[in-house]
Structure 1
Amino acid sequence: MDLIEKFFVCLGAAVSIYCGMKLLLFSRMLFPKMWFPLPETFFTSMGEWAVVTGASEGVGKAYALALAERGMDVVIMSRTKAALDKVAKEIGERTGRRVKVIVTDFTKENIFSKIEVQLKDLNIGVLVNNVGMLPSLIPFRFLECPDLEKTILNVINCNMKTMVKMCKIILPGMENRRKGLMVNISSGTACIPFPMYTLYAASKVFVERFSQGLQAEYKDKGIIIQVVAPFGISTRMTGYIQTNAMTPSPDNFVQSSLLYLTAGDKTYGSVCHTLMAWLLQCIPTKILYSESMLQGLQDYVQKLPKEPNSGAT
């Protein structure tokens, strides 16, 4: 066997091993309870309280309810007091856990000192950085965004600054106790450069890189920091699109995502969304970013039945 033939044999073996390992890693997503089992006391062992931002509806509400069902008292935060009070009542009646309401608008400046005071004396074991805003469900080019200057500031404050500030407030207590869980909600749109949702997707890339760097820094302190990057979920942000295998309800998605908390520093939260990310990354960018594809995306979303989704959740 000459040198060139040996090279291609070795290359083929390396590719086969690589593909086999990727397939094995993906197969673990199918059986999370077997591969990533959690003890019944996992959540309560982290601390007494869980804090969830953007918890007045949708995914945030589902996380708050799921954590209360697992024995935690919860702090729910958003900008609409009436909606938060309704969620607090529902959680209390269904689970018997204590619920603390903090009303705040995460698009605003200079709000975090007041939040820190209200959280000061709580033994916080779980933080879910869920709050986020999508400038518009309808895809558009960056310069076509209405009130662009205000939108840029709001997206930075809500999607990026809030996560960093909440980590700054809560991480020291977790470090001192050498335990804690942080779940930072990104988006499947961050898996590739995502034209027509450029500002939103880029803000979610920040969420991922910050979270993964933070996990590397604090993993040895006993703290789990995980990015969850879902695609479409039937919420106000997506115009309450009809649920199906690829578009779960908030409750179903959250129950699924909680099964993967020890699966690594990033997950897509469900098998279907993991497959979607893989398929999206396989499409050649020349096709994905073609004018016809971008226009087709805009036309498709415009035809979807939807409700208004402005503002932060």
Structure 2
Amino acid sequence: MAAVDSFYLLYREIGRSCSCYVEALALVGAWYMARKCFTLVCDSYSLIRLHFIPKLVSRTDFVKQYGRWAVVTGSTSGIGKAYAEELASHGVNIILISRNKEKLEAVAKDIAETYKVETVVVVADFSKGREIYSSIKEALRDKDIGILVNNVGVFYAYPEYFSRLSEDKIWEIVNVNIAAANMMVHIVLPGMVERKRGAIVNVSSASCCKPTPQVAAYSASKAYLDHFSRALHYEYASKGIFIQSLTPFFVSTNMVQFAHRIVSNKFFLVPSAKIYARHALSTLGISKRTTGYWLHSIQFLLAQYTPEWLWVWGSQIINSALRREALSHRLY
């Protein structure tokens, strides 16, 4: 009988001990859920504040807020051209920088005639490296540069394993995706600091949020640009300079024409460059890091909460499929 009583007392003691552990785990679970719910509410509010509220208020006077001139690199097509047109529609004079003189002059003429603003063209091939920047610096001298849009960038011809890339492609990615933004910021930033106003937009990519296989060099270059932008904002926000990192997903441009199935079907998650630029410009001065497009913002939130192994697994499948599709089109 004594043995039974002892067993019962031990059972009750174990029960109390387990109960304490269960209560502790319940508290941890409740705290975790509360935190996630709070984060979701904050993210939802940010999405509304960033992408919908600005459309209800009057248009921003970018000339008054930042300055009379904007510099846009990689501006003869795609996001760069569309962004330049959107800025011009707000009365900002545009300096277009790209490597094709004929295309530059055609875009500059069209913007000047359509929006009644001044335009200047600067011919520069950013893949050439350091040698081009002295002429760019001279062309921008004495200009009230209020906005710099570092849009120029290069991608792979299609997703590919790093060892199969040529040395020329690797240097092109480094010179265009990384060095160009650094040097352009270095050229225009002193003037912005002196005038105590200005905005710099660095066009990164959603691939910066996690390692992305088969576009490793591109993904890494955009991660650099994203971190560079955010660090610069912390350095210069107190001096009146707003620096923004744009991290879009797919936008229908020449750069992603290898993804025929995604782009040609006008998938609703893939906006045109014009629609994207209109949305992205409305976020300038509001968010230092954004996808620029509300549907992309939802995608980015999901990507941030996705485990890295799952992101990598999905990227491998998608990029392998895009690679096969691109190669099949080349064969035919």
For normalisation by structure 1, the TM-score amounts to 0.89
In structure 2, which of residues 61, 83, 87 is the aligned counterpart of residue 63 of structure 1?
83
Tell me the alpha carbon deviations over residues 55-113 of structure 1, each in whole angstroms, 9 at most, x when there is no partner: 01110001111111101100000000111111011101110100000011000021101
Structure 1 residue matching 2:270: 3-state secondary structure? coil
Over the aligned positions, Cα root-mean-square deviation in angstroms equals: 2.5
What number of residue pairs does the alignment pair up?
Answer: 304
Report the equivalent of 1:154: 172
Shift of 1:38: 6.9
Residue 186 (1) aligns with residue 231 (2): no
Residue 34 (1) aligns with residue 53 (2): yes
Report the equivalent of 1:274: 297
Report the equivalent of 2:144: 123
Counterpart contact for 2:159–2:322, Cα < 8 Å: no
Shift of 1:19: 2.5
In structure 2, which of residues 220, 227, 235 is the aligned counterpart of residue 217 of structure 1?
235
In structure 1, which of residues 252, 255, 264 is the aligned counterpart of residue 278 of structure 2?
255
Structure 2 residue matching 1:226: 3-state secondary structure? strand
Tell me the alpha carbon deviations over residues 177-226 of structure 1, each in whole angstroms, 9 at most, x when there is no partner: 11101100000111110000000010001101111110000000011000
Residue 135 (1) aligns with residue 156 (2): yes
In structure 2, which of residues 69, 93, 97 is the aligned counterpart of residue 49 of structure 1?
69
Give the distance between the partners of 2:329 and 2:300, measured in 1 at CA.
Answer: 26
Give the distance between the partners of 2:179 and 2:300, measured in 1 at CA.
Answer: 26
In 2 relative to 1, CA 10–295 (structure 1 residues): closer, same or farther, beyond 3 Å? closer
Unaligned 5+ segments in structure 2 are: 1-18
Shift of 1:163: 0.2
Structure 2 residue matching 1:101: 3-state secondary structure? strand
Structure 1 residue matching 2:126: 3-state secondary structure? coil
In 2 relative to 1, CA 305–71 (structure 1 residues): closer, same or farther, beyond 3 Å? farther
In 2 relative to 1, CA 296–49 (structure 1 residues): closer, same or farther, beyond 3 Å? closer
Give the distance between the partners of 2:54 and 2:88, measured in 1 at CA.
Answer: 24
Structure 2 residue matching 1:231: 3-state secondary structure? coil
Counterpart contact for 2:212–2:315, Cα < 8 Å: no
In 2 relative to 1, CA 197–85 (structure 1 residues): closer, same or farther, beyond 3 Å? same
In 2 relative to 1, CA 212–306 (structure 1 residues): closer, same or farther, beyond 3 Å? farther
Shift of 1:303: 2.5
Amino acid corresponding to residue 316 of structure 2 in structure 1: L
Give the distance between the partners of 2:236 and 2:246, measured in 1 at CA.
Answer: 18
Give the distance between the partners of 1:55 and 1:117, measured in 2 at CA.
Answer: 19
Counterpart contact for 1:54–1:130, Cα < 8 Å: yes
Shift of 1:297: 2.8
Shift of 1:139: 1.1
For normalisation by structure 2, the TM-score amounts to 0.84
Report the equivalent of 2:183: 165
Structure 2 residue matching 1:232: 3-state secondary structure? coil
Counterpart contact for 1:133–1:158, Cα < 8 Å: yes
Tell me the alpha carbon deviations over residues 97-152 of structure 1, each in whole angstroms, 9 at most, x when there is no partner: 0000001100002110110011011001000000000022x21110011xx22111
Q: Which segment is superposed worse, 39-48 or 117-126?
A: 39-48
Give the distance between the partners of 1:18 and 1:180, measured in 2 at CA.
Answer: 36
Amino acid corresponding to residue 60 of structure 2 in structure 1: E
Residue 88 (1) aligns with residue 105 (2): no
Amino acid corresponding to residue 160 of structure 2 in structure 1: F
Structure 2 residue matching 1:51: 3-state secondary structure? strand
Amino acid corresponding to residue 116 of structure 1 in structure 2: K
Unaligned 5+ segments in structure 1 are: 309-313
Counterpart contact for 1:44–1:70, Cα < 8 Å: no
Tell me the alpha carbon deviations over residues 17-42 of structure 1, each in whole angstroms, 9 at most, x when there is no partner: 44223333233323534269675323
In 2 relative to 1, CA 245–295 (structure 1 residues): closer, same or farther, beyond 3 Å? closer
Give the distance between the partners of 1:280 and 1:92, measured in 2 at CA.
Answer: 40
Give the distance between the partners of 2:329 and 2:240, measured in 1 at CA.
Answer: 42
Residue 174 (1) aligns with residue 192 (2): yes
Amino acid corresponding to residue 289 of structure 2 in structure 1: K
Tell me which of the two structures has the higher relative contact order, counting C-alpha pairs closer than 8 angstroms and 6 or more residues apart. 1
Report the equivalent of 1:311: none
